[in-house]
């Protein structure tokens, strides 16, 4: 432990004021002692120390003009974290809370997640403190064009391939891709994923992260007896991940009874009406309270408060980091939760994860449970490279197999290292091992 602790102390010293990044590194380090003991050659080669330092970090000014003619300035980031397994791959987040530490935590997680998919993709992440809420389409377009005017020189289908994340959906990817195409004079479809279906996008990409998180919950439950069927689930968020997690829960025979946004949450004991939710959130870009108002009886809106107070058997946190804390985890356990599958990145705090592990709840960490999104992005890259488009059924089948594969890998690795059923350890060790072996092969670079 001494060597790992020393490396962690060094991470704290070299990266001050980045608590989310520290949290993500600590969570991985907690799992690595077992593999360090068996394979001292990794630390001899400085693998862990090198993994903690991004290969490249880009920070840039993003000036744009709003609808009133006023010049606005945001900050853009891209952290190209690790390319041992393939081109840097990871989403862009547009949210006022974005800073370098947030992007580094997300990029660090992405390395292991992408490794777990078994596909040839490295880890990266990016974004800006730009807030798309309340902006006109023209403002979002001008911002995206300015953002890409700097970022394009760092991207390429063999170099770095961004996708969406919080605040970045099909609209933003369209503006970004259009500007990349104009600047480079190349129709390089594989440079961005999450594209529209008419111009190089993949079926199932939009649904993939949410679907994958629900499939992972189903697999965890099946490994302990019976799957999702007939069970109640709570879902947080009402964005891309949450909406399609709800859809897959319903398809698997469960009932998702909640959704939320930063203003509060709704409970609908009859099961969330997906069409209504999509109309409000995807089409009208409205707020979650409108769901309860339009749905009528059986649905209620709770302003503020914690969605995790609602008694359920399955919890799918699909909004943002650290949204589920120790108190919320304790409440979920008290109310009889059986499985927690993280659709968002690091939504459970360190303390919450300890509560779930101590109570022997099936807990799927984000880097395993939400890997379906990036896996389907890699499938989009495959289709772009072969100038082909796959059917929904075929792509969904590939996604399902990948999620089942990740589940099995986590379980088998946890077993191999003497911690049966520990998905956190399984995901961290399996994700790490593949990246470490590739880095060993390349020498010290
Ligand atoms: P969206 O922007 O589509 O939706 C985010 C949702 O979470 C919104 O409902 C938003 O509400 C809510 N939310 C965001 N911040 C907060 C906050 N501080 N407090 C409460 N609610 C909040 O993003 P995605 O669905 O794409 O992403 C959700 C999570 O999933 C993120 O952690 C992301 O990193 C992760 N993820 C996404 C992938 C993808 O493919 N999109 C892939 C893997 C992980 P409001 O509108 O009020 O802000």
Kindly list the structural domains of the chain, giving each domain's residue range(s) and its CATH number in brackets, ordered by start.
54-188 (3.40.50.10860), 207-369 (3.40.50.720)
Both tokens of residue 199?
Answer: 């111009």
Which residue's CA is the nearest one to ligand 1's atom 37?
Answer: 165
Give the closest residue to 53 by CA, choosing from 88, 89, 79, 30. 79
CA of 9 to the centre of ligand 1 (A): 31
Looking at residue 1, its pLDDT comes to 63
Looking at residue 106, its pLDDT comes to 98
Both tokens of residue 39?
Answer: 């394979």
Whole-number percent of the chain with pLDDT over 90: 98
Which residue's CA is the nearest one to ligand 1's atom 31?
Answer: 344
* DSSP letters for 247-302: HHHHHTT-EE-EEEETTEEEEETT---HHHHHIIIIIS---THHHHHHH-TTEEEE
CA of 7 to the centre of ligand 1 (A): 31
Which of 109, 319, 347, 376 to mutate for ligand 1's pocket (most ligand atoms within 8 Å of CB)? 319
pLDDT in tens, 39-54: 999 999 999 999 999 9
Looking at residue 297, its pLDDT comes to 85
Burial class (CB in 10 A: 0-12, 13-18, 19+), 66: middle
Atom of ligand 1 nearest to the CA of 320: 32
Q: Residues of the chain whose pLDDT is less than 50?
A: none
* DSSP letters for 39-94: -HHHHHTTHHHHHTS-SEEEEEEEEEE-TTS-EEEEEEEEEEEE-SSSSEEEEEEE
Distance CA 279, CA 294 (A): 11
Atom of ligand 1 nearest to the CA of 241: 25
Atom of ligand 1 nearest to the CA of 347: 32
Atom of ligand 1 nearest to the CA of 263: 47
Looking at residue 60, its pLDDT comes to 98
CB atoms within 10 A of CB 84: 23
Which residue's CA is the nearest one to ligand 1's atom 17?
Answer: 262
CA of 267 to the centre of ligand 1 (A): 19
CA of 238 to the centre of ligand 1 (A): 8
Concerning whether 222 is annotated as a catalytic residue, the answer is no
Ligand 1 pocket at CB < 6 A: 91, 164-167, 209, 237-242, 261-262, 318-320, 343-345, 370, 373
Looking at residue 3, its pLDDT comes to 86
Looking at residue 2, its pLDDT comes to 81
Distance CA 29, CA 7 (A): 9
Spot the catalytic one: 89, 104, 113, 125: 125
CA of 324 to the centre of ligand 1 (A): 14
């Amino acid at each position: 432990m001494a060597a790992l602790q020393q490396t962690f102390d060094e991470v704290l010293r070299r990266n001050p004021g980045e608590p989310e990044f520290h949290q993500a590194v600590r969570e991985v380090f907690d799992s690595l002692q077992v593999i360090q003991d068996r394979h001292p050659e990794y630390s001899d080669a400085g693998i862990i120390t090198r993994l903690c330092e991004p290969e490249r970090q880009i920070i840039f000014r993003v000036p744009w003009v709003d609808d009133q003619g006023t010049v606005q300035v945001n900050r853009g980031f891209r952290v190209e974290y690790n390319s041992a397994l393939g081109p840097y791959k990871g989403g862009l987040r547009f949210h006022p809370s974005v800073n370098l530490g947030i992007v580094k935590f997300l990029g660090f997680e992405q390395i292991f997640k992408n490794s777990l998919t078994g596909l040839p993709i490295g880890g990266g992440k990016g974004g800006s403190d730009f807030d798309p809420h309340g902006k006109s389409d023209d403002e979002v377009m001008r911002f995206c064009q300015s953002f890409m005017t700097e970022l394009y020189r760092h991207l390429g289908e063999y170099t770095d391939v961004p996708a969406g994340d919080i605040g970045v959906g099909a609209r933003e990817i369209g503006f970004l891709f259009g500007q990349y195409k104009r600047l480079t004079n190349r129709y390089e479809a594989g440079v961005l994923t999450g594209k529209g279906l008419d111009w190089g996008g993949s079926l199932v990409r939009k649904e993939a992260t949410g679907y994958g998180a629900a499939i992972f919950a189903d697999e965890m439950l099946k490994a302990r007896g019976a799957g999702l069927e007939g069970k109640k689930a709570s879902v947080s968020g009402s964005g891309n991940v949450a909406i399609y997690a709800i859809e897959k829960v319903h398809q698997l025979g469960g009932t998702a009874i909640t959704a939320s946004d930063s203003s509060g949450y709704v409970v609908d004991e009859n099961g969330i009406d997906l069409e209504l939710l999509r109309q409000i959130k995807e089409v009208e870009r409205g707020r979650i309270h409108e769901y309860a108002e339009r749905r009528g009886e059986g649905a209620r809106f709770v302003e503020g408060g914690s969605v995790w107070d609602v008694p359920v058997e399955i919890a799918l946190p699909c909004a943002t980091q650290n949204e589920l804390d120790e108190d919320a985890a304790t409440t979920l356990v008290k109310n009889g939760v059986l499985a927690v599958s993280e659709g968002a990145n690091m939504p459970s705090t360190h303390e919450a994860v300890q509560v779930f592990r101590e109570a022997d709840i099936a807990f799927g960490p984000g880097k395993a449970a939400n890997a379906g999104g990036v896996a389907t992005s890699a499938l989009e890259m495959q289709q772009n490279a072969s100038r082909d488009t796959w059917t929904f059924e075929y792509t969904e089948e590939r996604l399902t197999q990948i999620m089942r594969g990740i589940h099995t890998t986590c379980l088998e690795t946890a077993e191999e290292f003497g911690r049966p059923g520990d998905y956190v350890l399984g995901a961290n060790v399996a994700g790490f091992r593949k990246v470490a072996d590739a880095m060993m092969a390349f020498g010290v670079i």
